Amino acid sequence: MSGAHSLQAAYAGRRVFVTGHTGFKGSWLSLWLARLGAHVTGYALPPCTTPSVFELARVGEALTRHVTGDVRDQVALTTAMREAAPEVIFHLAAQPLVRLSYREPAATWSTNVMGTVNLLEAARACPSVKAIVVITTDKCYDNREWIWGYRESDPLGGSDPYSASKAATELVVQSYRKSFFSNSGPLLASARAGNVIGGGDWSDDRLIPDAARAVASRQPLLIRNPAATRPWQHVLESLHGYLLLGARLSGGEAAMADAFNFGPDAADNLSVADVLTRLQAHWPALNWQLEENAEQAPHEARFLYLDSSKARRLLDWTPTWQLATGLEKTAQWYYTVAQQPSAARAITEQQLDQFCS
């Protein structure tokens, strides 16, 4: 993998603050940072799913400090950050589910928007901070159902509360960069990734976790939108981009203080049905069928694709695993852990080794 040695040099011995470290992506990121030699402080609510990769893979053992807290609690967040005195911050804490945002719009807005405001306010009061990467989503764009990829300069927007809150989060980041961090203070960037897959995600209303639950219960997976197309990628692909971006920011490269897309190659922009067909090759017990009354489900975009030319050009970031490999590793993780839950840490570390080799 390109940049492996430079990442080691960038993070070894550094103090890193990760919000949302008990979640799916946050757990993988925290383990990777620890392997790079970083001193990681995690700040998050307890895992929101049972089981969780955080608990199964014993992620807490790899941390310098684990703080239970809500990003909506400005005082607690500021206190935790001051005590950690981080040099680099990765902000992943969020309400990340589209359908839940319809049921809990106010909580979605307060967590995603005001949580980010609180994070940036805490960073302003913490002089050790050199770099901040705020993680948003590919859904922050005003989706026109275009057949070409969205670029970082395209308009932001969102029909559902989740997507709109993430677009608003991007505006918060832009505002703080221009208002408070343009002449001094930390370098601030945002990262927009595609639909991530990988072992250890048990969130509701996501394709792979729903598939894992269906296999475990020996029931067919019910799908809503088999033709919906998304930029699918393994979780380590997006995390690699975040780490590269954080390294460049912490090195003082002001030109990197901007928004970046991290999406897969065009060939991996597939429909839900195509992904399930490919996944079934590694997971024969998986079967699926169309959900009844699927047409009555809340609105979700049918087509979404990211243009990642900017990350490729400026960060030298390119996908390491094509989707075929990502699906194979994902199925392997769930199968292994279903057979032996205590193997979660070992299979996670093994896949990190394979990705970085």
Split at pLDDT 50, 70, 90, the class of 301 is: low
Percent of the chain topping pLDDT 70: 96
Over residues 129-187, the pLDDT tens digits come to 999 999 999 999 999 888 789 999 999 999 999 999 999 999 999 999 999 998 888 99
Mean pLDDT of the 117-136 span? 98
- Specify the number of domains making up the chain: 1
- Which range of residues forms the domain containing residue 88? 3-356
> Would you place residue 294 in the very low, low, confident or very high pLDDT band (cuts 50, 70, 90)?
low
Check residue 295 and give its pLDDT. Answer: 57
Query: What are 7-42's pLDDT values in tens digits?
Result: 999 999 999 999 999 999 999 999 999 999 999 999
pTM for the full model?
Answer: 0.95
CATH number of the domain residue 71 falls in: 3.40.50.720
Structure tokens at 288: 């699926």
